[in-house]
A and B are shown apart, each in its own frame.
Chain A
């Protein structure tokens, strides 16, 4: 098994630097601290066992709403569909952002950058995950000097998630509009956005105004425990629903 062999090589070479190292679905994932990222990447690129000469992708991830479900009722009768949908989940209604952003599931594990590496010489792939240490000001060192392709990938992650890549010489917004405010792919950014654009015939120019779309859920998020797993996670939710029903009656 190639993935397992790579994992053992990585563990032998980097030892305690790896905060986590797993093989899942035949893919190797390692996790390192931001402080160790540059040294690790340099070694991964240059040492002949690894030889990851290509950085395929950099992906920002916001773990704020991890595992949150919007449909936690066992009973579908009563007031019906809307009761099961939890409007308080992240990004659903504007105005709840400040309240929510403090409730990160795990403190300082909110923003991560995920790097996908490819070795053309050894024909293998590797995934590196780096969590930024501060949720309020996520900073991760830039790997631009190691792989030139990091340039736009890091600009994109900065634009969409607000992750600051330290050492990037040109960290401008890339995909959003000129003068855009906020980082749209964060989980607490509403799906419909905050502003909309239209032409105003009176002022005879294009203006920005608050969105007129009402946010709504068409299909709620559901998390069902899979076959073989115990259903302990769902039980408290079911009890709460039952208690709520008693009160209403």
Chain B
């Protein structure tokens, strides 16, 4: 009688379906997962420790690199914590801009998630479609901040600069004829808001396109329905937030329940799942994209008719305008002090949380009154989700592990920090 033993399989860290650098030690009985032990930290950069050694403003760029598919939402959590401790009130226009870019970021994140999740379980086409729309939104990022990914656009006290009146244009080159360029520039003739207005009008039809590819697709349903079921009780116990919690049927969204910026003036709905499986979480995220689109439209309409400042006038926190510095000694001193020493944040501690595309993103900030934070703790939603991997994967087949990683929407930048 041969001895039957469990089989231990090493999954990752260099595996295309591991979404980055996840190493997972899987104990298999045949093809059934008995135990999953994720080893994380291969992308650990000690962001929190680095932030302790720098003035507050110099760490905003690190926040982009946490969850590198929802950059501005990470920045938002960090600057919100600083503002709360400083007691700074952000101008209304900046709040609308932030809400608009948070929702653009939500669509960006969900598009990447949808493409990658589809690819993991064998749906190639969705990936190509979602990246087409991501391109437009990254152009919007580029127009306001100059960078397509790591924007560093949010600053304590507002946003770096107002929305541009003109979109960057394509130029004819060896690869693009004049005809191509005219076609590419067709929706770029006006301001950024015109460009986004055009996008918002097009986008619901794009979501319909993704849905025709997946929602009723037999293979997609076989791979996601009843995979990784989480009951509402367990979802709460495991610290789930965001779509992972809503997929299990709990209507909890910080944008509604603890509104920040101007979310209380926005009209949108919260989608909720019923079964708590991967398919429900897919439906929740698809609907979130449609709702995000509605919010962007409301922001565009408001921003068109309400000009105003986008940064606080307090030059202890925000730099003075460049023209002023040429004339005014005081402005020059403010600028110098701000960029060499930074500003001192009063002693105390705050926790600022917001509804990140992946869940609750929180920044816990402790200050001892210095120009550098004493401790920054980043509460990443993906960290809590991945820690439930063992529980979710147990009893499933090996191939379902990939589907579960996909449905968690994990990105290692934020988990490893």
Question: A residues bordering B, Cβ < 8 Å?
Answer: 24-25, 27, 29, 53-57, 59, 61-62, 65-67, 69, 114, 116, 120, 123, 125, 127, 147-149, 151-153, 156, 173-177, 184-185, 191, 218-219, 221-226
Interface residues of B in 340-381 (CB under 8 A from A): 340-342, 344, 346, 348-351, 353, 360, 362, 364, 366, 368-372, 374-375, 377, 379
A125 cross-chain contacts in B, Cβ below 8 A: 351
Question: Does B8 lie at the interface of the complex (its beta carbon under 8 Å from any beta carbon of A)?
Answer: no
Bound complex: CA A59 to CA B391 (Å): 23
Q: Mark B211-242, 1 if CB is under 8 A from A, else 0.
A: 00000000000000000000000101111010
B346 near A176: Cβ-Cβ < 8 Å? no
Q: Please give, as numbers and ranges, the residues of chain A lying within 8 Å of B353 by CB-CB distance.
A: 56
Q: Judging by beta carbons under 8 Å apart, are A66 and B374 in contact? A: yes
20 CB-based A-B contacts, threshold 8 Å: A27-B350, A53-B237, A61-B366, A67-B368, A67-B369, A114-B364, A116-B351, A116-B364, A120-B250, A148-B234, A149-B384, A149-B387, A153-B384, A176-B44, A184-B49, A191-B49, A219-B340, A222-B370, A224-B369, A224-B371
What 1/0 mask marks residues of chain B from 179 to 191 whose CB sits below 8 Å from any chain A CB?
0000000000000
Residues in B whose Cβ lies below 8 Å from that of A226: 344, 346, 369
What total count of A-B pairs have CB within 8 Å? 121
* Chain B: number of interface residues, binned into ranges: 35 or more
Cβ-defined partner of B239 (8 Å) among A147, A184, A219? A147
Given A57-B364, A223-B368: A177 touches B41 (CB 8 Å cut-off): yes
Identify which of B50-58, B64-72, B101-109 touches chain A.
B50-58
Cβ of A123 and Cβ of B258 under 8 Å apart? yes
Task: Say yes or no: A56 contacts B344, CB within 8 Å.
Answer: no
B257 in the interface, Cβ–Cβ < 8 Å?
yes
Given contacts A53-B236, A148-B237, A177-B41, 6 further A-B contacts (CB under 8 A): A56-B239, A127-B349, A152-B387, A175-B44, A176-B44, A219-B372
The CA-CA distance from A101 to B40 in the complex, in Å, is 30
The smallest C-beta distance from A216 to any residue of chain B, in angstroms, reads 11
Which residues of B are at the interface with A, using a C-beta cutoff of 8 A?
40-41, 44, 46, 48-50, 53-55, 58, 84-85, 234, 236-239, 241, 250, 252, 257-258, 340-342, 344, 346, 348-351, 353, 360, 362, 364, 366, 368-372, 374-375, 377, 379, 383-384, 386-388, 391, 416-417
Other-chain contact of A219, B48, B341, B386, B417 (Cβ < 8 Å): B341
In the complex the two chains form, what is the Cα distance from A53 to B239 in whole Å? 9
Q: Once the chains are docked, how many angstroms separate the CA of A245 from the CA of B375?
A: 34
What's the Cα separation between A219 and B58 when bound, in Å?
11
In the bound assembly, the distance between CA atoms of A166 and B350 in angstroms comes to: 28
Closest B residue to A176 by beta carbon equals: B41
- A66 near B368 with CB under 8 A, answer yes
Q: Given A53-B236, A149-B384, A152-B387, does the pair A116, B379 have CB atoms closer than 8 Å?
A: yes
In the complex formed, the residue of A with least CB distance to B46 is: A184
- Establish whether residues A174 and B371, one from each chain, have CB atoms under 8 Å apart when the complex forms: no
**Chain B positions within 8 Å of A218 at CB level:** 54
Is the beta-carbon distance between B49 and A185 smaller than 8 angstroms?
Answer: yes
Q: Mostly helix, strand, loop or mixed at chain A's interface?
A: loop
| Residue of A whose beta carbon sits closest to that of B345 | A226
With a cutoff of 8 Å between Cβ atoms, the chain A residues found around residue B258 in the complex are: 123
A219 to B338, CA, bound (A): 12
Residues of chain A lying within 8 A (CB to CB) of residue B84 = 25
Do A223 and B344 touch across chains, with their CB atoms under 8 A apart? yes
- Flag if A24 contacts B238 (CB, 8 Å): no
Residues of B near A127 (CB, < 8 A) are 349, 351
The reply to whether B239 and A54 contact each other, CB–CB distance below 8 Å, is: yes
List B contacts of A224 (CB < 8 A).
344, 369, 371
Nearest CB on A from B59, distance (A)? 12
Instruction: Collect the chain A residues with CB atoms within 8 Å of residue B234's CB.
Output: 148
Task: Point out the residues of chain B lying under 8 angstroms from A184, CB to CB.
Answer: 46, 49
Whole-angstrom distance between the Cβ of A124 and the nearest chain B Cβ: 9
Contacts of B369 in A (CB 8 A): 67, 223-226
Q: Which of A27, A59, A123 contacts B257 (CB 8 A)?
A: A123
> Chain B nearest CB: distance from A110 CB in Å?
13
- Determine the residue in chain A with the shortest Cβ distance to B386: A152
